[in-house]
Structure 1
Amino acid sequence: MIRPAVPADVPVLIDLIRELAEYEKAPQEAKATPAQLHEALFGPHPAAFAHVAVDDESGEPVGMAMWFLNFSTWHGVHGIYLEDLYVRPAARGKGHGKALLRELARICRERGYTRLQWWVLNWNTPAIDFYRSIGAKPMNDWTVYRVTDDALAALAA
């Protein structure tokens, strides 16, 4: 079962984010606090959204999709940028990841959005294989750039 996250999900979402960071070999980078996540998802001006995959038998959350809207100037409409997709190891292979992506694709179609996109680490071959199996295509002509920390402060000065 896939459902939109509710405020009571914030603690489990934080746990899932930390588990994902551990899986991606960067646990020290998962710094979001429950208060920050609550504000981003449920504050007066939500900037992010989340869906939760719930195990049918136990009723426990086993995965999540954290996302936000992007915008295509060429198409003139929004799209969904999937920030994080994570399913706990014990729940993998049961369709939760595909169900989360299917829900985001459904939202795109329902709202007239023209794209659903995300990044994947180059070494994460299980994820890459999964994404290819559902028809996702890598955008090899593009390189991701990011400005953070000291470089961000210098650029802003």
Structure 2
Amino acid sequence: MGAVLDLIHKLALNEDSEEMVARVFTATTHSMQEHGFSESPAFECRIAEFERNGAKTIVGIVIFYQTYSSYTSRLGLYIEDLFVEAAARGKGAGRALLQEVARIAQDRACTRVDLAVLSSNPARGFYHRLGFQHRTPFLFYRLTDSSIGSLAEGTSEDSNAFHFRDPEAGGEWLTASVNPPDDGLSELERSDAAIAVVTEFSDCFNARDIQGVEACLQFPHLILSGEKLSTWDGPGAMTAADFDALANGSGWYRSVYHRIDPILTSPRKVHLVVEYSRETRDGFEISRHRNVWTVTFEFGRWGIKQRSY
């Protein structure tokens, strides 16, 4: 366990200064043993060993734990740490560790494996080559010790009361009073955020990046085409065949957006006039469209809630 903790400490030093690590690094062999090797472990780990002349040396480690997707109702794995000693890099240790996690995910019928990477990490290309995809426009947020306490113990003067309980535990319903959430942005910042989402949607659509398109949407997602209202309850409604049908039916190659203008904003919601044309590969305009889209702030992010055609 000491060798495992040593690798984690080296990873921390790779990401932060010695001063910062000295202040925040509190893991010990005892706490690792308690949390990772008890009857209900909070994490799992695998190590990579290099053998030479009959002696084995630990050169890499991956720490991961199980997650759950409410959209798919399936399990997943989250990689908390991946580290390989500098002298052992480029020899396949990192790939082998991730392959082991992938095999575990496959055996457990997991639908995804997630990890977070520093924007400055040169290994980002390595993850891309293995098939990992950068999920835009998601942002990583965290509550730390003091913030957890402030939120847990906070009170509200708002009169709206919400009742909640653990459905498995039974017992009495509890009551909490909270303020209606706000995005905390000015009207200009709100408009800019909405325009950025539509722009990202356009880029992903033209790249036929289904996951990228879905990441720009809020679910359930509404599409009003003429008088017909369609609802996408979650990811999976769009397929590659949709792009093929559009291309084969009209010669579509890309969509060019000419206007993305906010016409009405309010906390957590922006209505936009979106004007775009569909073009062939050589730039011939097939058709031009002017629609109203609604972008909302839900679950801590902006996304397209409704498109009216």
Is the TM-score greater than 0.5? yes
Residue 33 (structure 2) pairs with residue 14 (structure 1): no
In structure 2, the residue corresponding to 1:59 is in which secondary structure? strand
- Correspondence list, 1:3-152, <5 A: 10-26=1-17, 27-28=21-22, 29-57=24-52, 58-125=55-122, 127-152=123-148
Q: CA deviation at 1:149?
A: 2.2
RMSD of the alignment, in Å?
A: 1.1
Q: State the one-letter code of the partner of 1:37.
A: M
Q: CA deviation at 1:139?
A: 1.0
Q: What runs of 5+ residues in structure 2 fail to find an aligned partner? A: 154-309
Q: State the one-letter code of the partner of 1:95.
A: G
Distance 1:44 1:101 in 2: 25
The percentage of counterpart residues that share the same residue type is: 35
Distance 1:23 1:86 in 2: 10
Distance 1:150 1:30 in 2: 17
Distance 1:44 1:60 in 2: 28
Q: What runs of 5+ residues in structure 1 fail to find an aligned partner? A: 1-9
1:59-95 CA distance string (max 9 Å, x none): 1110000010000111212111000000010000000
Q: CA deviation at 1:124?
A: 0.7
Q: CA deviation at 1:44?
A: 2.3
Distance 1:152 1:131 in 2: 32
Distance 2:16 2:4 in 1: 18
1:79-126 CA distance string (max 9 Å, x none): 11000000010000000000000000011111101111100001112x
Residue 147 (structure 2) pairs with residue 156 (structure 1): no
Q: State the one-letter code of the partner of 1:135.
A: G
- Runs of 4+ with deviation above 4 angstroms: none
Distance 1:14 1:140 in 2: 33
Larger Rg: 2
In structure 2, the residue corresponding to 1:53 is in which secondary structure? strand
TM-score (norm 1): 0.89
Q: Is the 8 A contact 1:70 1:79 kept in 2?
A: yes
Q: Is the 8 A contact 1:17 1:30 kept in 2?
A: no
Distance 2:75 2:45 in 1: 17
Alignment coverage as a number of residue pairs: 147
TM-score (norm 2): 0.46
* Larger strand fraction of residues: 2
Distance 2:63 2:99 in 1: 14
